[in-house]
Structure 1
């Protein structure tokens, strides 16, 4: 859904309230004048605009709410809001006609204006007491079950998606680690071979030529000797006993040749 344009927001939150306040402010003099004409004193007459304005706003708001929520009493609330608008318009028109000497007050006018407050109160009380639609326990339970089912499906989909992604990433890391381990092992063997070759060339008499591979039994015997002395089988210690390079001893350990 697209966002509401800024100018629409301005109309909703600024223009409409400003127009309502201005309209209510302009209706005050005519409604006060009509209340005075009907016999109310200066002390009570200013309450007439409040009565009509609150009546109109309340009836309109209740009618809109009940229409959206599909509640009973929509018609009476709508009728009440229309009646309030008609009363406000009539009050303005009649008060201005009397002020301009186009008409005079009459008994019928006095009675009609005097009936506005009690009729307003009666209709507002009626709208407030209109019972709302009551949902049965089975309907509420069905709605709750439907909501739980919907949330369960959404949660399962989210968890499944993230689980698959995590497994894929884990497998990728594992494969990368295995390959890296193999590469490092091969590199270590190459380095050791090159080192031994260089050492032989630099000192041909050392060791009487290229070193021979240490027998597996000798490797295991050295490992048993270390364990018998309470030492761990590590590359440096195994290399010292066998007379080989530490990388070679480490390779023996990684290959499982140093197990007892």
Structure 2
């Protein structure tokens, strides 16, 4: 925040008070003359400028203060300040009109001017009275707490909405993942069925070499002779290895040895 320029400070602290003092000083003759016209003596008439001008200044200041502090009685203070200005302006105008012989005094004028002091006192006392609805410190704290609670509620609601939005996004992502997973499972099941079919076909084509129905004693004897022709000793182990059978199958299907 920038500092207040020096000339603005000069207006606030010098020019404004000087203008107010000058205005009050200029209003003194007319208001004193009006008081004399209404019947006040030389001793009391000079109090009329204080009554009207200071009353207008006080009412305006109080009205401004109550508006800034949000205090009750703003309307009556504003009305009082306007009435005080009207009275001060009327006093000057009527005094000058009487002085210049444009009008003369009357009973109505005397009554109106005579009512100014008591009305001024009544309204100033009313404005000076501490309003019953003035907020105490505890009430201010309570109001701040309510505002703070409202802000917290708004923040929580916003955060909740963000979390829900994020959760909806996560659920949507999970749904997509679930769909992809289902497709992968279907593909895996299809591949498994294909593999099972391939295995079945392979089992049909590639039968075990040690199947008992295909093994004969002639095959065992032929393998023994082949090993002997190759210069290898036709032991049971070598014959079983060559045929891919177990020794139990060998002894089951080989020709009995004759004496």
Q: TM-score, normalised by structure 2?
A: 0.53
Instruction: Name the residue aligned to 2:124.
Output: 124
Classify 1:38/1:135 alpha carbon distance in 2 versus 1 (closer, same or farther; 3 Å). Answer: same
Instruction: Name the residue aligned to 2:60.
Output: 60
Helix, strand or coil at the partner of 1:133: coil
Distance in 1 between the 2:139 and 2:85 partners? 42
1:42-64 per-residue CA deviation (whole Å, 9 max, x = no partner) reads: 00000000111221111111101
1:74 is the counterpart of 2:77: no
Instruction: Name the residue aligned to 1:99.
Output: 99
Instruction: Name the residue aligned to 1:20.
Output: 20
By how many angstroms is 1:127 displaced?
Answer: 1.0
Helix, strand or coil at the partner of 2:43: coil
1:1-260 aligned at under 5 Å gives the runs 1-129=1-129, 130-135=131-136, 137=138, 139-140=140-141, 143=144
Classify 1:135/1:92 alpha carbon distance in 2 versus 1 (closer, same or farther; 3 Å). Answer: same
Q: TM-score, normalised by structure 1?
A: 0.53
By how many angstroms is 1:139 displaced?
Answer: 4.9
Distance in 2 between the 1:86 and 1:38 partners? 18
Helix, strand or coil at the partner of 1:131: coil
Distance in 1 between the 2:143 and 2:16 partners? 40
How many residues are treated as equivalent by the alignment? Answer: 147
By how many angstroms is 1:133 displaced?
Answer: 2.1
**Which of structures 1 and 2 has the bigger CA Rg?**
2
By how many angstroms is 1:41 displaced?
Answer: 0.3
Instruction: Name the residue aligned to 1:193.
Output: none
Distance in 2 between the 1:66 and 1:139 partners? 16
1:2-52 per-residue CA deviation (whole Å, 9 max, x = no partner) reads: 111111111111110000000000000000000000000000000000111
Distance in 2 between the 1:15 and 1:139 partners? 37
**Structure 2, unaligned runs of 5 or more:** 149-259
Classify 1:107/1:69 alpha carbon distance in 2 versus 1 (closer, same or farther; 3 Å). Answer: same
By how many angstroms is 1:83 displaced?
Answer: 0.6
CA RMSD of aligned residues (A): 2.2
**Structure 1, unaligned runs of 5 or more:** 148-260
Classify 1:30/1:136 alpha carbon distance in 2 versus 1 (closer, same or farther; 3 Å). Answer: closer
